[in-house]
Structure 1
Amino acid sequence: MSLSDPMLSFKGYRLSNTLGEGSYGKVKSAYCDQLKCNVAIKIIDKRKAPQEFLERFLPREIQALRRLHHPSIIKTYEIFETSAGKVYIVMELGEKGDLLDYIKITGAMEEDIAHIKFQQLASAIKYCHDSDLAHRDLKCENILLDEDLNIKLSDFGFSKSLSRDEDGRTILSQTFCGSAAYTAPEVLEGVPYDPKISDIWSLGVILYTIVYALMPFDDSNVRKMISIQKQHRIPFPNSKYLSAECKDLIYHLLQPNASQRLCIDEVLKHSWLQTRKSIPSPLPAAEEGECSKNLHEGKPEHKQQAKSHSAEGEEKETGSSKDGWF
């Protein structure tokens, strides 16, 4: 893709470096003459994309980006398509990259800082959930940081507007979405799940990663990982002091029984997000590394990039008399 894309030049965008690349698209930084600032432009080549992506995931992402307006969600400035089959999504630039890379460089956050960042993220999720939208791919790589290190949730390619049955219950999903290390056990097991509640599990993994600079579970053996998760075994390393309130929130976010997991309103009302006390933790501490995984052992991750979305198998609507494909 040339640095002098004629359509972008015509619209006043001057392309710069590539931020990320996928199978059928890439994200480039650019300067916008009209906005007088740098932006990120996701450029998707529909001719290279599989039909499932074009019919399911791309429309969902575009729909989500057009309706979401929240200070902790990446801002979308413009979406347009050319007759040549290219889709352009012009977004706010995450100047400081993604949260995973930031933690790899700076290490674990102190609780006072983690408290602010996590509250920003949780408020973004509440906004989505209150709009009956689940993200379904929450992970540190999809959380960008602006120039002032504020949280900016991104990548809504797996997001889904939720429907309800005639009794008002959320119609459940069956698609595996996201990365195993961040994914709730019910999703990994292929059990029909409420995507909002599964988002909460992912929040727990993210919070743990922020405060320990470790992943709570080693996903190199998914079957073993699920077994550990279902026993509600969470390693709290002795190498770093963590308040009882923070551990308690992580413990309840990583609740393997989905029916007992917190909803987003309960997360935001948790004592750790209301007060900042430092009291000794009564929770037993596991040896570091018992179940956790060093961040540097993971796969190479993207920053603000286009990626290939795929689902393992088709997604079926369940929980109502309608049993159709979508």
Structure 2
Amino acid sequence: MGFPALMGRYQVGKTIGEGTFAKVKIAVDMKNGKTVAVKILDKKMVLERSLMHQVEREIGAMKILHHPNIVRIHEVIASKSKIYIVMEYVSGGQLSEKMSCHSIMSETEARKYFQQLIDAVDYCHSQGVYHRDLKPENLLIDSRGNLKLSDFGLSALRRPGNLLSTACGSPSYVAPEVIVRKKYDGAAADVWSCGVVLFELLAGFLPFQDRNMMNLYRKIARAECKLPEWFTAPQKKLLAKLLDPNPLRRAKVGEIIEDSWFRLDYKSVAENVCGWALPENTFQVMKMGEPMVLESPRQATFINAFQLISMSNDLDLSGLFGEQKTKLFARYSKTETMKRIHVAAKDASLSIVRMIGSKVNLHASEKLTRSIPHIMVSVEVIEVTSMHCMIEIYKSTRAIKPYEEFCKSLSIILE
């Protein structure tokens, strides 16, 4: 008996990976015969565990990254109960599996994987993406023996220099500054993780190990690790720069690339990369038809880049979890935009029941109902620049007509 087809295009086959709330299956694209990987997520389980933002981050990051050493995403398909992420199929398995088969990897092979890891991380950082969970389990090997970075579920998108605050990652690979829950530089934290991976590639074991989690964190915070006697002087020199507990002294990616040990047989893929670069200015129209800006630490109301990716027509992530909303773009200040929302509400016979900051709740006018008013439409205004705003309009399950009338009125007013 054959395997079922997904959305009439992908012939889904056997399971090749399984996690807590997701399975990865091999599939064939029936249009071109190419093999792909399909990550299948249980929507109910994702919602119950409040992992919606993690899924959106993973899809959003993979959508904007185009690099030979990063797993590509092809498309996202959503049903009532499942989310299907169709990705590039990487046939060689995880780097961790390869490492378990070799007690110690050859220096040449270890260096090649490390070079490709740094190339991928350097590219991610140039796009404002910080992985935050770099480890051999998230590094795949393709049929040609090349490394592919995957799993962006814990990634963050910030303008270079902006600090992060969420503590995340795998304990043995996480940077000291992340453990102590201080604000940290995503690039420096990723470099530390790369250093741990390099150590493991060359030694065959982790630099920081302890069954007691507090002792493990203490060792990481002090960078207490013993270098194997077979490590060469150039290897020790580079590792000392990578595993510096002080993030300000830790090597930058550019310094790693200039290291003499790293540069041996190094073949950069930078000239072949055709990516999606972040703009210098805070407002720019993307090819997908939506403006893109970055989160500003000085003004929290400015839209986050991942939110903006989700708003694009090319990849609207809001529908993945059953949200029903309309998005409009206003070329007015936030104050002027709010005034137009008031006018549109009046046109649709809706009254403002509550207004908190940038959020407005609307219900049917008292003249039209004798019952206790319930919220029919919710509106949120997200400031992009001083003269550009994004408007998100949500409807209640029983407010189709008022919602449609309000959206229509506001669209006309904003023209």
Kindly state the Cα deviation for residue 135 of structure 1 after the two structures are TM-superposed. Answer: 0.4
The answer to whether 1:59 aligns with 2:53 is no
Query: Which protein is bigger by CA-based radius of gyration?
Result: 2
Call closer, same or farther: CA 1:247–1:103 in 2, change over 3 Å: same
Structure 1: distance between partners of 2:122 and 2:33: 31
User: Counterpart of 1:76 in structure 2: which amino acid?
Assistant: I
| Residue range with higher mean Cα deviation, 113-122 or 19-28 | 19-28
User: Counterpart of 1:28 in structure 2: which amino acid?
Assistant: K
* Partner of residue 280, structure 2: none
Structure showing the higher strand proportion among its residues: 2
Kindly state the Cα deviation for residue 156 of structure 1 after the two structures are TM-superposed. Answer: 0.6
Is the 1:173–1:318 Cα contact (8 Å) retained in structure 2?
A: no
- Counterpart selection for 2:217 from 219, 222, 226: 226
The answer to whether 1:49 aligns with 2:46 is yes
Kindly state the Cα deviation for residue 183 of structure 1 after the two structures are TM-superposed. Answer: 0.5
- Counterpart selection for 1:212 from 203, 220, 223: 203
The answer to whether 1:17 aligns with 2:8 is no
Per-residue CA deviations over 1:150-174 (Å, capped at 9, x if unaligned) read: 000000111111147xxxx41x222
- Counterpart selection for 1:138 from 124, 129, 134: 134
- Counterpart selection for 2:186 from 170, 192, 195: 195
Per-residue CA deviations over 1:226-250 (Å, capped at 9, x if unaligned) read: 3323333321123xx2221112111
The answer to whether 1:93 aligns with 2:89 is yes
Is the 2:5–2:12 Cα contact (8 Å) retained in structure 1?
A: no
Call closer, same or farther: CA 1:60–1:231 in 2, change over 3 Å: closer
Call closer, same or farther: CA 1:245–1:48 in 2, change over 3 Å: same
Call closer, same or farther: CA 1:234–1:66 in 2, change over 3 Å: same
- Counterpart selection for 1:272 from 251, 261, 269: 261
Structure with bigger RCO (C-alpha 8 Å, 6+ apart): 1
Kindly state the Cα deviation for residue 42 of structure 1 after the two structures are TM-superposed. Answer: 0.3
Is the 1:234–1:251 Cα contact (8 Å) retained in structure 2?
A: no
Kindly state the Cα deviation for residue 120 of structure 1 after the two structures are TM-superposed. Answer: 0.7
- Counterpart selection for 2:100 from 98, 104, 111: 104
Structure 2: distance between partners of 1:91 and 1:211: 30
- Counterpart selection for 1:160 from 128, 135, 156: 156
Structure 1: distance between partners of 2:64 and 2:302: 26
User: Counterpart of 2:143 in structure 1: which amino acid?
Assistant: E
In structure 2, the gaps of 5 or more residues are 266-294, 305-415
Is the 2:63–2:72 Cα contact (8 Å) retained in structure 1?
A: no
Q: How does 1:312-323 map to 2 (within 5 A)?
A: 320=298, 322=300
The answer to whether 1:244 aligns with 2:240 is no
The answer to whether 1:81 aligns with 2:72 is no
- Counterpart selection for 1:118 from 104, 114, 120: 114
* Length-normalised TM-score, structure 2: 0.61
Call closer, same or farther: CA 1:76–1:35 in 2, change over 3 Å: farther
Task: Report SS of the residue matched to 2:24.
Answer: strand
Per-residue CA deviations over 1:90-125 (Å, capped at 9, x if unaligned) read: 112221110011110123221112111111110000
Structure 1: distance between partners of 2:231 and 2:135: 22
Per-residue CA deviations over 1:167-218 (Å, capped at 9, x if unaligned) read: xx41x22222121001011111111111111011100110011111101111
Call closer, same or farther: CA 1:325–1:127 in 2, change over 3 Å: closer
User: Counterpart of 1:177 in structure 2: which amino acid?
Assistant: C
* Length-normalised TM-score, structure 1: 0.77
The answer to whether 1:254 aligns with 2:243 is yes
Call closer, same or farther: CA 1:6–1:162 in 2, change over 3 Å: same
Task: Report SS of the residue matched to 1:90.
Answer: strand
Is the 2:40–2:84 Cα contact (8 Å) retained in structure 1?
A: yes
Is the 2:130–2:156 Cα contact (8 Å) retained in structure 1?
A: yes
Is the 1:79–1:90 Cα contact (8 Å) retained in structure 2?
A: yes
CA RMSD of aligned residues (A): 2.5
Task: Report SS of the residue matched to 1:258.
Answer: coil
Call closer, same or farther: CA 1:48–1:206 in 2, change over 3 Å: same
User: Counterpart of 1:90 in structure 2: which amino acid?
Assistant: V
User: Counterpart of 2:186 in structure 1: which amino acid?
Assistant: P
Is the 1:96–1:144 Cα contact (8 Å) retained in structure 2?
A: yes
Task: Report SS of the residue matched to 2:51.
Answer: helix
Structure 1: distance between partners of 2:37 and 2:228: 38
* Partner of residue 28, structure 2: 31
* Partner of residue 143, structure 2: 147
Give the number of equivalent residue pairs: 274
